[in-house]
Amino acid sequence: MRAGPSQEEVRKHNLGTLLRYVHVHGATSRAELTTRLGLNRSTIGALTAELIGAGLVSEAAPRETGRAGRPSLVVRPESGRIYAYALSIEVDRIRAARVGLGGRILEQYETARPPGMSAAEAVRPLAGFVSTMRSGVPDDGRCVGSGVAVAGMVRQEDGMIRLAPTTGGVEEPVGEALHSELGEFGPLRLGNHADVCALAEHARGAAVGSDNVIYLYGDVGVGAGIVAGGRRLHGHGGYGGEVGHMVVNPYGRPCSCGSRGCWETEIGEHALLRLAGRADRSGRDAVLAVVDAAMRGDSQAQHALRQVGDWIGFGIGNLVNIFNPEVVIFGGTLRDVYLGAAAQIRSRLNAVGLPACREHVRLRTPELGADAALIGAAELVFENLLDDPLVT
Amino acid sequence: MRAGPSQEEVRKHNLGTLLRYVHVHGATSRAELTTRLGLNRSTIGALTAELIGAGLVSEAAPRETGRAGRPSLVVRPESGRIYAYALSIEVDRIRAARVGLGGRILEQYETARPPGMSAAEAVRPLAGFVSTMRSGVPDDGRCVGSGVAVAGMVRQEDGMIRLAPTTGGVEEPVGEALHSELGEFGPLRLGNHADVCALAEHARGAAVGSDNVIYLYGDVGVGAGIVAGGRRLHGHGGYGGEVGHMVVNPYGRPCSCGSRGCWETEIGEHALLRLAGRADRSGRDAVLAVVDAAMRGDSQAQHALRQVGDWIGFGIGNLVNIFNPEVVIFGGTLRDVYLGAAAQIRSRLNAVGLPACREHVRLRTPELGADAALIGAAELVFENLLDDPLVT
């Protein structure tokens, strides 16, 4: 229990609220800020002046208003100057970007992650990308830190990867390796891939305005980023959302985690490709090929898609009963599977989900695509800045 | 997004924080309040004076301090004066109580709920209890409202019961009936039985200090009250936590909800009694008899307990992977089943739960027993008072 904030804390909160508004919504007139934030004009003016002084926003007259009278100045985030490094260690690739305040990707780099490359080994090429980007940063640029999305379970306090089922890594000290390579660029924060995608889609994608969201991400593995009551679900150690290891089929196949019949074993890439008679292939293109083949009438591909769609709807039904969400988003290759099996998924969801729990749920595809991981990773460090904009 | 609070809002927040502290922790010295709330002595003095003026707390010298110097005054909630009516519509009984500020049950009444009695029909006897209690309230007593715990899915805005699977009721306008019987006693708030028990155990029972809690309640039906990141999980319409309708066995028995193999069908009372060869019995005593028989070596009872324990651990494993909680509490008859099958439950939980998700989880029994439903129901209305103590 904490007592109410001091005047100084209120001012800090207001600065953060204003900066967060333009970070999420982009250029906004002072008049609109006054309305949206419920503060008077002179307060908005003073807050804006402080943020301009700190180089975080700029202000200019709008191009044209079409209305008489003095137009309200427009406040915009300094996206070119204030940036974060966003890194993403995925199952089959490694990406790095510079993301400007306001969530704009300024530049990005990508390389394949060969099978067997550990997450710790991925740190070296990432550091190379950062070094390249660094050389081109304008002189007045300011880095607020680095955010990293990792396909795996990440311990918050030190960035230890506890389990990366899809690549077999266990207890890899990735945070430590990143610190020694990138420590000079400000704070470093790591997050699970699905969690940061959920963060991005919730802030500026398919789940804007929804307080209860399940972002389901699948490729070889399956995980979820969950927003409940407007806030991300972390759990005690930050490992919440491991829905891929919800057992849905007690009589199902062994899972890499040691259990059996996990949702991941029924709806992950391997399951679809095996059912489609293509167990020798892998990756997004192979999944897309199955969906295409099903569309063209290939009966084995259709059967595979129906089967996987049925298990997807089944697990979503369980999650809907547990979370009563407004939106479920299908990311990764599950996006393509969802588009190919939407009717099947909805039908099974309706059978498993209780009417009251499912009556308002919308099934969606992501709006930010693969950018979500980078934008979300950057968001992890922008959060620090938005909590206290004038800290340096 | 909201701007920071005004001075007036800060004062209201501080009043609420102080009142909440003594409501949860009981009599507390001014010195300790100063430390705990991080406010200075004169502010604590002023806030206390306001709360005394509103009749919400009283202040007195402590009996004995054993230390030299002027002892710090002790602030205590006015439990005898400020109260809420707490009502509980359960599967087999109906209860009503008067609960004082501070969570103290001042008096309580109970009657059986005959099979087939709808929740709406239970309103009449509840109103009778309230009328009885009302006649004995001291002249300076002040009722802050009525809280109602219902075994069923409750729509927040109007108290419509959407589904009470255990008694077969669907779409019962209980809120409306309660309003017309009890409307004169201030605000009326309804909550799901497991949700309000979780609220009570989190505030003053087995989950104090834990931010991620699953309170599992079972009798004929199974549901959960869930706390994630320190806040109750509601979901979009308030229907979150219906874990009893998570399907765990796709090849299992039909459930009353229309689905098949729901967790409730595998771990509810009916399952245990059927497996123990006692399908003709029901209720808590029948469940206790099975646990007792198993302890005494009855092999069919042991088999039933093992089987049900296995499914309990299985579902808890799923929930642990999803929520990464610190505490799981077993309430209702699941308390007795848990005590009789703890090893089985833990073993299956360990097989299904990922190590990182389960490593810190504690399995517990409730500390408040059957009082939790009444204390939690009262808490629903005390929350209004704590949010704004001086509103009348």
User: pLDDT per residue over A308-328, tens digit each?
Assistant: 999 999 999 999 999 999 999
**B180 pLDDT tier (thresholds 50, 70, 90):** confident
- Cβ atoms of B218 and B266 within 8 Å: the answer is no
So what's the pLDDT on residue A165?
54
Interchain contact, A236 vs B14, CB within 8 Å: no
- The boundaries of every CATH 1.10.10.10 domain in chain A are 7-77
User: pLDDT per residue over A12-55, tens digit each?
Assistant: 999 999 999 999 999 999 999 999 999 999 999 999 999 999 99
- The boundaries of every CATH 3.30.420.40 domain in chain B are 82-197+372-387, 208-364
- How do strand A327-332 and strand A362-364 relate by DSSP bridges? parallel
Q: Which of A162, A357, A360 sits opposite B242 (nearest CB)?
A: A357
List chain B residues with CB under 8 Å of A355.
162-163
Q: What is the least distance, in Å, from the CA of A244 to any CA of chain B?
A: 9
List chain A residues with CB under 8 Å of B239.
324, 354, 356-357
List chain A residues with CB under 8 Å of B236.
211-212, 324-326, 360-361
So what's the pLDDT on residue A363?
98
Interchain contact, A356 vs B243, CB within 8 Å: no
Beta bridge partners of B224: B216
**A170 pLDDT tier (thresholds 50, 70, 90):** low
So what's the pLDDT on residue B362?
97
Mean pLDDT calculated for residue range B286-304: 97
| Interface pTM, i.e. ipTM | 0.92
Q: What is the least distance, in Å, from the CA of B349 to any CA of chain A?
A: 11
**B68 pLDDT tier (thresholds 50, 70, 90):** low
How would DSSP label each residue in B56-112? Answer: SEEEE--S--SSSSPPPPEEEE-TTTEEEEEEEE-SSEEEEEEEETTTEEEEEEEEE
Determine the Cα–Cα distance for residues B28 and B40; give it in Å rounded to an integer.
Answer: 16
Architecture of domain A82-197+371-387: 2-Layer Sandwich (3.30)
List chain A residues with CB under 8 Å of B38.
2-3
Mean pLDDT calculated for residue range A165-169: 56
Question: B161 to chain A: nearest residue by CA?
Answer: A356
Please write down the long-range contacts of B42-47, taking CB distance under 8 Å and 24 or more positions apart: B43/A3, B43/B14, B44/B18, B47/B14, B47/B15, B47/B18
CATH number corresponding to A209-364? 3.30.420.40
User: pLDDT per residue over A294-313, tens digit each?
Assistant: 999 999 999 999 999 999 99
User: pLDDT per residue over A46-105, tens digit each?
Assistant: 999 999 999 999 999 887 656 667 778 999 999 999 999 999 999 889 999 999 999 999
Q: What is the least distance, in Å, from the CA of A146 to any CA of chain B?
A: 25
List chain A residues with CB under 8 Å of B360.
236-237
- Cβ atoms of A354 and A328 within 8 Å: the answer is no
Interchain contact, B228 vs A248, CB within 8 Å: no
- Cβ atoms of B82 and B140 within 8 Å: the answer is no
- pLDDT of B66 over the 80 cut: no
Interchain contact, B321 vs A11, CB within 8 Å: no
Question: A47 to chain B: nearest residue by CA?
Answer: B3
Is the domain spanning B7-77 CATH 1.10.10.10? The answer is yes
Q: What is the least distance, in Å, from the CA of A56 to any CA of chain B?
A: 18
Residue A267's closest CA among A363, A334, A348?
Answer: A334
Rounded to 5°, angle at Cα A304 from A301 and A310: 140
Q: How many residues does chain B have?
A: 392
For residue B21, CA distances in Å to B25, B30, B63, B221, B384 come to: 6, 11, 21, 35, 15
What does the mean pLDDT of chain A come to?
A: 91
Q: What is the least distance, in Å, from the CA of A108 to any CA of chain B?
A: 31
Mean pLDDT calculated for residue range B216-222: 93
Interchain contact, B352 vs A38, CB within 8 Å: no
- Which of B163-177, B283-297, B338-352 has the least mean pLDDT? B163-177
So what's the pLDDT on residue A164?
65
Task: Give percent of chain A above pLDDT 90.
Answer: 76
- pLDDT of A147 over the 70 cut: yes
User: pLDDT per residue over A324-360, tens digit each?
Assistant: 999 999 999 999 999 999 999 999 999 999 999 999 9
Mean pLDDT calculated for residue range B165-182: 71
Beta bridge partners of B147: B86, B189
Q: What is the least distance, in Å, from the CA of A300 to any CA of chain B?
A: 23
Listed in sequence order, the residues at least 6 apart from B16 whose beta carbon sits closer than 8 Å to its beta carbon are: B386, B387, B388, B389
Q: What CATH class has B208-364? A: alpha beta
List chain A residues with CB under 8 Å of B317.
247, 259
- The boundaries of every CATH 3.30.420.40 domain in chain A are 82-197+371-387, 209-364
- Cβ atoms of B102 and B77 within 8 Å: the answer is yes
How far apart, in Å, do the first and last CA atoms of chain B sit?
A: 29
Rounded to 5°, angle at Cα A287 from A281 and A288: 125
Q: What is the least distance, in Å, from the CA of B152 to any CA of chain A?
A: 11
Interchain contact, A360 vs B5, CB within 8 Å: no
Q: Which of A17, A242, A249 sits opposite B321 (nearest CB)?
A: A242
Interchain contact, A325 vs B258, CB within 8 Å: no
Interchain contact, A354 vs B36, CB within 8 Å: no
- H-run or E-run covering B213: strand B213-218
Interchain contact, B17 vs A39, CB within 8 Å: no
- pLDDT of B163 over the 80 cut: no
- Cβ atoms of B321 and B353 within 8 Å: the answer is yes
User: pLDDT per residue over B24-47, tens digit each?
Assistant: 999 999 999 999 999 999 999 999
Interchain contact, B1 vs A235, CB within 8 Å: no
Determine the Cα–Cα distance for residues A47 and A34; give it in Å rounded to an integer.
Answer: 11
CATH number corresponding to B82-197+372-387? 3.30.420.40
Using DSSP, how many helices (H) and how many strands (E) does chain B show?
Answer: 14, 15
Question: A313 to chain B: nearest residue by CA?
Answer: B247
So what's the pLDDT on residue B2?
65
So what's the pLDDT on residue A308?
98
**A169 pLDDT tier (thresholds 50, 70, 90):** low
Pick among B208, B231, B323 to test the A interface (most A CBs inside 10 A): B323
- pLDDT of A162 over the 90 cut: no
Task: Give percent of chain A above pLDDT 70.
Answer: 95
So what's the pLDDT on residue B165?
55
Task: Give percent of chain B above pLDDT 70.
Answer: 95
List chain A residues with CB under 8 Å of B347.
none
- H-run or E-run covering A232: strand A231-232
So what's the pLDDT on residue B71?
78
List chain B residues with CB under 8 Å of A323.
233, 235, 240
Interchain contact, A17 vs B39, CB within 8 Å: no
Determine the Cα–Cα distance for residues B91 and B165; give it in Å rounded to an integer.
Answer: 10
Determine the Cα–Cα distance for residues A78 and A74; give it in Å rounded to an integer.
Answer: 12
So what's the pLDDT on residue B272?
97
**B177 pLDDT tier (thresholds 50, 70, 90):** confident
So what's the pLDDT on residue A311?
97
Question: B24 to chain A: nearest residue by CA?
Answer: A1
Q: How many cross-chain Cβ pairs, A to B, lie less than 8 Å apart?
A: 197
Interchain contact, A2 vs B9, CB within 8 Å: no
List chain B residues with CB under 8 Å of A17.
1-4
User: pLDDT per residue over A268-294, tens digit each?
Assistant: 999 999 999 999 998 899 999 999 999
